[in-house]
Amino acid sequence: MTTEYTKNTSRKGVVVITGASAGLGRSLARAFAKDGYDVSLLARGVEGLQGAQREVEAMGRRAIYFPVDVADAEAVENAAAQTEEQLGPIDVWVNNAMNSVFSPIKKMTPEDYRRVTEVTYLGQVYGTLSALKRMLPRDKGKIILVGSALAYRGIPLQSAYCGAKHAIQGFFDSLVTELMHDKSKVTATMVQLPAMNTTQFGFVKSRLPNKPQPMGKIYQPEVAAKAILYAATHDRREINVGYPTVKAVEGNKIAPWYADYVLAHNGYEGQQTDEPEDPNRRNNLYEPIPGDHGAHGPFGEQSTNFSPQLWATLHRKELLTSALAVGGLLLLGRWLR
How many whole angstroms separate alpha carbon 238 and alpha carbon 223? Answer: 16
Q: Which of 37, 121, 126, 161 is catalytic?
A: 161
Q: What are phi and psi of 289, to 5 degrees?
A: -85, 125
How many whole angstroms separate alpha carbon 111 and alpha carbon 212? Answer: 21
Give the E-state strand segments of the chain in sequence order: 13-18, 37-43, 63-67, 92-95, 101-102, 141-146, 186-192, 195-196, 205-206, 210-212, 218-219, 238-240, 272-276, 303-304
210-212 vs 272-276, strand pairing mode: antiparallel
Quote the radius of gyration of the chain (alpha carbons, Å): 21
Would you give the end-to-end CA distance of the chain in angstroms?
Answer: 62
Please answer whether residues 81 and 100 qualify as being in contact, where contact means their C-beta atoms are separated by less than 8 angstroms: no
219 is catalytic: no
- Which positions are annotated as active-site residues? 161
